[in-house]
Structure 1
Amino acid sequence: MKKIALLFALVLPYSLLGQKESPYTTDFLTDASLIGGATVINTWGLLVIKDKKPLTEEKLSALNAEDIWFVDRWSAGNYDEKASSASDIPLYTSIAVPLIFALNKDTRQHMGQLSIMYVEAVGLSLATFTVSSGFIEKSRPKVYNPNLSLDEKLESNNQRSFFSGHVAAAAASTFFAAQVYADFYPNSKAKPYIWAGAALLPAAVGYYRVKGGNHFLSDAIVGYVIGATSGILIPRLHRRKDSNLKIAPEVGFGYQGIGIQYTF
C-alpha cells in the first residue's frame, strides 16, 4: 500500500502538467444569485409579455412611417418570411458555438464551469430582453406594410419590436465564446479572426430580422450591444484577477434588476 501511495504521489504532479488551469473562478453564492435573479426576471418579463395588449385598429390607423426616426424609417414596411426563417441559421449556429469548448482538451475539463458562465451570459441578455419587450410598446416594421392583412397586423406579437432577442442571444453566445478563447489563449494569433467571427454571426441575424420586418435597425443594434456586453462581461466577472467586479440581482421598492459594482 505504501508503494502504491508513493507511486501515486510521484505520478500525479506529472499528470497535472497536461491540464490547463482555468483563468476563471466561480463562487456558489454569486453564480446562484445571478442565475436565480435572471430566472426570476425572465419569468416576470414573460408574464408581462403574455398579458401585453395587441395593437388596436385606432392606434394602427394613427401609425405613420414619417413619424419614425430617420435611422429606422427606411425599414418601415419590410416584410419577408423567407428572411425571417433564414435568421434562424446564424442564430442556432451562434448558440452552438460555445459547444466547441467541449471538443478542446484544454477547455473540456472546465466545461462545468464554462456551462454555468454561458447560462449566465445568455440569461442576463434575455432577462433584459423580456422586460423591455414586455413594457415597451413599439410596432414591428411589417405592421406598416400595406399588403399585410389586418388580422396579422393586430397580432400581439407585433408590438414587441424593441429590442431584438434573437440578436441579443446570438451576440451573447458568440462574444462569450470569443472572450473565453481570448482568456484561455491570450497570446493566440487567431484572436482577431475569432473576434471577427463573433461579430459577424449576430450581425447576420440582425440583417435577416430587419429584412424580414421583425425589427427596425435600432432594435437590432440595441440587441447586439446588450448581447455582446453580457457575453464579454460574464467571463470578465469570473476572471481570477477581477474579483473586485461584482454582479448580483437587486430587488427594491417598485423595481427589480441586476446591480453591477466595480471596486477601484
Structure 2
Amino acid sequence: MLSLRNLFVLLFLALTLSVGAQQFPYTLEWKREVSFFALGGGLSVTGHLLETEINPLTTEQLAAQRRSKIWFLDRGATRNECAVARRVSDELLRGAMLVPATLAVGRTTRRKGLVVGTMLAQTMLLNDGFTKMTKVLIRRNRPLIYNEAFSIGAKSLNDARQSFVSGHTSNTAALSFFTAKVFHDLYPDSPWRPAIWAGAAAIPLATGYARYQAGKHFPTDIVAGYALGATLGILIPQLHKSPTEEGWSLSITEEGVGLSLRW
C-alpha cells in the first residue's frame, strides 16, 4: 500500500507544481474508437461466456495433480497461502482504479475529459477482454490446486483453473501505466516524469507479489499479466496521438488501417 499512496502523492504534486501542459496531444476518430470498443467488448463478452463452460476438477483429478510436474521457477508458488496477501492484492486493485482520477487535477485533462475517459475505457475493456480470453482458453490450474493448505471447496471452483494470466496484475498495470503515459505526454518538460513512471511500475509489481504470496498465481502468470497491462496502458494513448505530434499514431479510414510516423 505504501507504493500506491506514494504514487497518489507524486501525481498530485506533479500536477499541481508542473508548468502548464503543452498542446493537447490526443484526438478521437469515430472509426478507430468504434473499432477499439467493438474488439474489447467482443473479447470481454466472449471470455465471460466461455468461463461458464469451464468444468472444475473432479476429486479424482485433484488427487492426480503433482507439484513435481510444475516448472521449477513456478513451483514455489504451490507452497504459498496467505489470506493477508490476498486482501492486500484486492486493496491494491481497488486503489489503482482511482489513480487515473488524479489526472483531473490538471486543467487540461478536465477540459478534455471525454478524450481521456474514452482512452481509459478502451484500455480497461481491451485488458479485460484479452485477460479473460487468455484465462478461459489456456485454463491453467492455480498454484492452490497443488497446496494442501487450501480446502477442497476452493480447489473445486472453476476459478481455480484460470491462473494464466494474472488479472489483478494486468488491471493494475493498465491503470497505472495509462496514467503515467498520459502525464508523460501532457507534461513533457516536467521533472516529475521519472518518479511517476517509477511509481506506476511499482503498483503492479506489488500486486503481483501479493498474488504470488497468496497462492493465487505463478510468477509466469504475473509477468504475463504485467506485460499485457503495461502494453495496453501505453499503447492506447499512443495510438490516439494527433498526426501533428511527433511519434506514431493509428488511423482508420475507408481505405483501411494505417500507422503514421512523424519525426
- Separation of aligned partners in 1, 2:210 and 2:21: 42
Which of 221, 228, 244 aligns to 1:219? It is: 221
Secondary structure of the residue aligned to 1:133 is: helix
Which of 64, 77, 80 aligns to 2:82? It is: 80
TM superposition shift of 1:247: 8.0
TM superposition shift of 1:147: 2.6
Name the structure 2 match of 1:12: none
Change (3 A) 1:57 1:199: same
TM superposition shift of 1:100: 0.9
- Give the letter for the 1:229 counterpart: T
Which of 143, 146, 150 aligns to 1:144? It is: 146
After superposition, the C-alpha distances for 1:103-146 in whole angstroms (9 at most, x for unaligned) are: 21121111110000001111111111110111112111112111
- Separation of aligned partners in 1, 2:88 and 2:249: 42
TM superposition shift of 1:200: 0.3
Name the structure 1 match of 2:73: 71
- Separation of aligned partners in 2, 1:64 and 1:26: 51
CA contact (8 A) 1:101 1:111 kept: no
Matched, 1:36 2:57: no
- Give the letter for the 1:78 counterpart: N
TM superposition shift of 1:187: 1.6
Name the structure 1 match of 2:12: none
TM superposition shift of 1:244: 4.8
- Separation of aligned partners in 2, 1:150 and 1:70: 24
1:219-238 paired onto structure 2 within 5 Å = 219-238=221-240
- Give the letter for the 1:109 counterpart: R
TM superposition shift of 1:148: 2.0
Name the structure 2 match of 1:174: 176
- Separation of aligned partners in 1, 2:21 and 2:164: 44
Q: CA RMSD in A?
A: 2.0
Gaps of 5+ in 2: 1-19
Which of 21, 42, 50 aligns to 2:23? It is: 21
Q: Larger deviation: 101-110 or 161-170? A: 101-110
CA contact (8 A) 2:21 2:187 kept: no
CA contact (8 A) 1:91 1:205 kept: yes
The TM-score normalised by the length of structure 1 is 0.84
Secondary structure of the residue aligned to 1:71 is: coil
What is the aligned-residue identity percentage? 35
After superposition, the C-alpha distances for 1:13-53 in whole angstroms (9 at most, x for unaligned) are: xxxxx885310111111112211221121000000011111
- Give the letter for the 2:25 counterpart: P
Name the structure 2 match of 1:56: 58
Secondary structure of the residue aligned to 2:77 is: coil
Change (3 A) 1:130 1:261: farther
Secondary structure of the residue aligned to 2:139 is: coil
Which of 95, 98, 106 aligns to 1:96? It is: 98
- Give the letter for the 2:56 counterpart: P
CA contact (8 A) 1:20 1:106 kept: no
Total equivalences in the alignment: 236
Gaps of 5+ in 1: 1-17, 249-259
Change (3 A) 1:163 1:235: same
CA contact (8 A) 2:248 2:260 kept: no
Name the structure 1 match of 2:121: 119
Secondary structure of the residue aligned to 1:76 is: helix
Secondary structure of the residue aligned to 1:178 is: helix
CA contact (8 A) 2:81 2:149 kept: no
Secondary structure of the residue aligned to 1:162 is: coil
CA contact (8 A) 1:77 1:143 kept: no
The TM-score normalised by the length of structure 2 is 0.84
- Separation of aligned partners in 1, 2:42 and 2:235: 20
- Separation of aligned partners in 1, 2:41 and 2:230: 20
- Separation of aligned partners in 2, 1:225 and 1:176: 13
Name the structure 1 match of 2:250: 245
Change (3 A) 1:84 1:261: farther
Report which of the two structures shows the higher radius of gyration computed on alpha carbons.
1
Change (3 A) 1:171 1:247: farther
